């Protein structure tokens, strides 16, 4: 047995032992890809186990995340802070080795993978970030941004539609530092894939504009190394290395079949595998000489020290650029004057009092903040003219690598997965837009953003039945509830330009999770506010119009329905009722406020409450209670002009008044 085989067998042994101890997991992929991983991690991957967040490290993504013991074995063996006890605690509560790799749990894990295809889309985003940062910061003789993104993926990733979206765009953008490894083992959970997956994968990726290296023996270290060298030499295209492997390699009776894909091998088969692999060591036992050959700490520290020296020279030659790189990429801070200037813009919006669609107000905010934030990287899924995501400083990265705008094409899911990768890479605040309805295409990637707690700004326009003539296929109903009830997602639906500016400021400043900004197609009237009311917008919900005495009824509304609530309040007041109107652009932010503040806005002794929103009704009962009512949607929409639809579905001042009166 060669030394390289022994090192790869350490991965196989740890993987089958951990899965067996947990009585749960997927040993097949780690055992099948062990030889490829050994070559990549020991000979090519630029990383430092002592500093997993070093800015210019190579990124490694395990898109086939069910094979998580592969990356845990690699991290442990190469010297990351992942002791053997964590591998022994695989898939157990609070361990650093969860069932699928999770960002933030394990040092060295770059992204959460498991939903197949997510990882490769994240990898595309990371490669975009690297290429764009390099163009923005590198100068002649000073390549401070210079790293690769490597991605392992399997048949399942390639079957998922998001891989088509992301990889198509990667080829178009010529991401030369993206290198993917296809684990071509012909097996998925249901068995041999030829009955349901007969694509010509090399031809597919060649058609995307990728450089393709076919027919690589994934168990031949020399062949793998040669393929990686070739891939690194191709600088104008991403590369797909097609590696033929045997799933569960080393298992005498289960390799090459789905029996080793998603279940422990069993004690007898593990004993047979140890004999087959000539691995006589006890479970979780790694010989000292194997650890020594795997240890990457000294090599990694030397790589980072070399980069530190390069950055010092860069600082001397380009001090302003170096300071900006430090702020954006290393520290992740906003410009020192951002808050002051953003607040001035918000005040200006209130003073101007424009009656405009909130999607236009969003564009105005992007225009104002774009000039303050060189890290802003925007995009839209082919709807820029409708989403209004372009601003005067927008430069497409497809023609200007140092630009700040991505034309994603009709790829809502791919866009959102790519955005996750950009955010995880660092150096950018990125936003991406589509119609609110088509959040559904992107739902999994949006959820992953919230799960990982990473900053993204999801811009959703055409937010209700007010979308109009395109009909119910394009009119969101339940989507707002979906977003609002997603843990760690903050959702805003502003009612005018001032609230839109506050929402954008909140999204830019929020660094521990994503924000969804939901905007109207139709024009919305500006609301009068005092300075303190403008300040209270940032609390998510506030009193927009108050009664002279204790309110008889409270109207709660968001977005386009705030103006409706104000009109209804006038009619109710004329009838002698004391009416309070609460604008609640972000229920998520409002819920985070102190009990005293929430009580001051929605006093518990006022039980007559009506919520008004052109979205599903059920969400609002948490605010109006069983004694209140909701003017909202319980069906899909219809195809007609927006104004006609609002009247048809009861979004009129008279209906709100009747609803209040019917409360008794």
Distance between CA atoms of residues 361 and 351, nearest Å: 14
DSSP string, 562-620: HHHHHHHHHHHHHTT--EEEEE-S-HHHHHTS-HHHHHHHS-TT---EEEEEEEESGGG
What is the number of other CB atoms lying within 10 angstroms of the CB of residue 525?
Answer: 16
Marked catalytic residue, from 38, 165, 375, 412: 412
Q: Is 387 annotated as a binding residue?
A: no
Q: Is 155 annotated as a binding residue?
A: yes
Q: Is 318 annotated as a binding residue?
A: no
Q: Is 114 annotated as a binding residue?
A: yes
H helices within 140-216, ranges in order? Answer: 155-159, 161-173, 201-208
Q: Is 187 annotated as a binding residue?
A: yes
Place of tokens 């791919």: 414
- Catalytic site includes residue 110: no
Q: Is 261 annotated as a binding residue?
A: yes
Distance between CA atoms of residues 476 and 437, nearest Å: 5
Q: Is 116 annotated as a binding residue?
A: yes
Q: Is 192 annotated as a binding residue?
A: no
Residues 418-434 as b/e (b if ≥16 CB within 10 A, e otherwise) read bbbbbbbbbbbbbbbbb
Distance between CA atoms of residues 51 and 291, nearest Å: 19
Q: Is 4 annotated as a binding residue?
A: no
Q: Is 115 annotated as a binding residue?
A: yes
Q: Is 493 annotated as a binding residue?
A: no
Distances, alpha carbon 594 to alpha carbons 493, 571, 591, 601, in Å: 21, 32, 8, 11
> Could you tell me how far CA 407 lies from the centroid of its own chain?
18
H helices within 430-586, ranges in order? Answer: 439-452, 479-484, 497-509, 531-536, 561-574
Q: Is 147 annotated as a binding residue?
A: no
Radius of gyration for the chain, computed over Cα atoms and rounded to the nearest angstrom: 28
Q: Is 425 annotated as a binding residue?
A: no
Q: Is 470 annotated as a binding residue?
A: yes
Residue 187 φ then ψ, to 5°: -130, 135
Q: Is 386 annotated as a binding residue?
A: yes
**Binding-site annotation, residues for Mg(2+):** 155, 185, 187
**Binding-site annotation, residues for substrate:** 26, 261, 359, 386, 462, 470, 474, 521
**Binding-site annotation, residues:** 26, 66, 114-116, 155-156, 185, 187, 261, 359, 386, 438, 462, 470, 474, 521
**Binding-site annotation, residues for thiamine diphosphate:** 66, 114-116, 156, 185, 261, 438
| Residues labelled as active-site residues | 412
């Amino acid at each position: 047995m060669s030394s390289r085989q022994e090192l790869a067998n350490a991965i196989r042994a740890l993987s089958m032992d951990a899965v067996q101890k947990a009585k749960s997991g997927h040993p097949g992929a780690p055992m099948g890809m062990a030889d490829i991983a050994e070559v990549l991690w020991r000979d090519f991957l630029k990383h430092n186990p002592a500093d997993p967040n070093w800015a210019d490290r190579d990124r490694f993504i395990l898109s086939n995340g069910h094979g998580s013991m592969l990356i845990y074995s690699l991290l442990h063996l190469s010297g990351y802070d992942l002791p053997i006890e964590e591998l022994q605690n695989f898939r157990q509560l609070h361990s650093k080795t969860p069932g699928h790799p999770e960002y933030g749990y394990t040092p060295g894990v770059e992204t959460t993978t498991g939903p197949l295809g997510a990882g490769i889309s994240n990898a595309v985003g990371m490669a975009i970030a690297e290429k764009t940062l390099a163009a923005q910061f590198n100068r002649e003789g000073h390549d401070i941004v210079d790293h690769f993104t490597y991605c392992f993926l399997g048949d399942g990733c390639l079957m998922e539609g998001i891989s088509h979206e992301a990889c198509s765009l990667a080829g178009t953008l010529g991401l030369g530092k993206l290198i993917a490894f296809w684990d071509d083992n012909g097996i998925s959970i249901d068995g041999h894939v030829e009955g349901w997956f007969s694509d010509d994968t090399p031809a597919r990726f060649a058609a995307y504009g990728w450089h393709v290296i076919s027919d690589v023996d994934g168990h031949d270290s020399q062949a793998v190394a040669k393929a990686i060298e070739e891939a690194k030499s191709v600088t104008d295209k991403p590369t797909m290395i097609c590696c033929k492997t045997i799933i569960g390699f080393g298992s005498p009776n289960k390799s090459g079949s789905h029996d080793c894909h998603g279940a422990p091998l069993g004690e007898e088969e593990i004993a047979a595998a140890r004999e087959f692999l000539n691995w006589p060591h006890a479970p979780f036992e790694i010989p000292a000489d194997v650890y020594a050959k795997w240890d990457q700490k000294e090599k990694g520290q030397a790589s980072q020290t070399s980069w530190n020296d390069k950055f010092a020279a860069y600082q001397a030659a380009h001090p302003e650029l170096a300071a900006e790189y430090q702020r954006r990429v290393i520290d992740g801070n906003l410009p020192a004057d951002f808050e002051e200037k953003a607040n001035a813009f918000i005040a200006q919006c209130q003073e101007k009092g424009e009656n405009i669609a909130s999607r236009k107000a969003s564009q105005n905010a992007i225009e104002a903040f774009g000039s303050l934030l060189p890290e802003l990287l925007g995009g839209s899924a082919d709807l820029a003219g409708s989403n209004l995501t372009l601003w005067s400083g927008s430069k497409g990265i497809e023609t200007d690598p140092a630009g700040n705008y991505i034309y994603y094409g009709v790829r809502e899911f791919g866009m959102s997965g790519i955005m996750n990768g950009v955010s995880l890479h660092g150096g950018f605040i990125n936003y991406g837009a589509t119609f609110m309805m088509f959040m559904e295409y992107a739902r999994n990637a949006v959820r992953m953003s919230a799960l990982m707690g990473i900053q993204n700004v999801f811009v959703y326009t055409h937010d209700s039945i007010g979308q109009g003539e395109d009909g119910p296929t394009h009119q969101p109903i339940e989507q707002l509830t979906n977003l609002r009830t997603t843990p760690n997602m903050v959702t805003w639906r502003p009612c005018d330009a001032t609230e839109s500016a506050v929402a954008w400021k909140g999204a830019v400043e929020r660094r521990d999770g994503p924000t969804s900004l939901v905007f109207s197609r139709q024009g919305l009237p500006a609301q009068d506010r005092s300075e303190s009311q403008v300040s209270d917008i940032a609390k998510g919900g506030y009193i927009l119009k108050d009664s002279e005495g204790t309110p008889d009824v409270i109207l709660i509304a968001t977005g386009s329905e705030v103006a409706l609530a104000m009109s209804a309040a006038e009619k109710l007041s004329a009838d002698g009722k004391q009416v309070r109107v609460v604008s609640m652009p972000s229920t998520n932010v409002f819920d985070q406020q102190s009990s005293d503040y929430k009580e001051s806005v929605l006093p518990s002794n006022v039980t007559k409450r009506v919520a008004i929103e052109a979205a599903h009704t059920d969400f609002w009962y948490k605010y109006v209670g069983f004694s209140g009512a909701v003017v909202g949607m319980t069906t899909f929409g219809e195809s007609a002009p927006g104004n006609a639809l609002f009247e048809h579905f009861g979004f009129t001042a008279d209906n709100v008044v009747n609803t209040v009166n019917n409360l008794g």
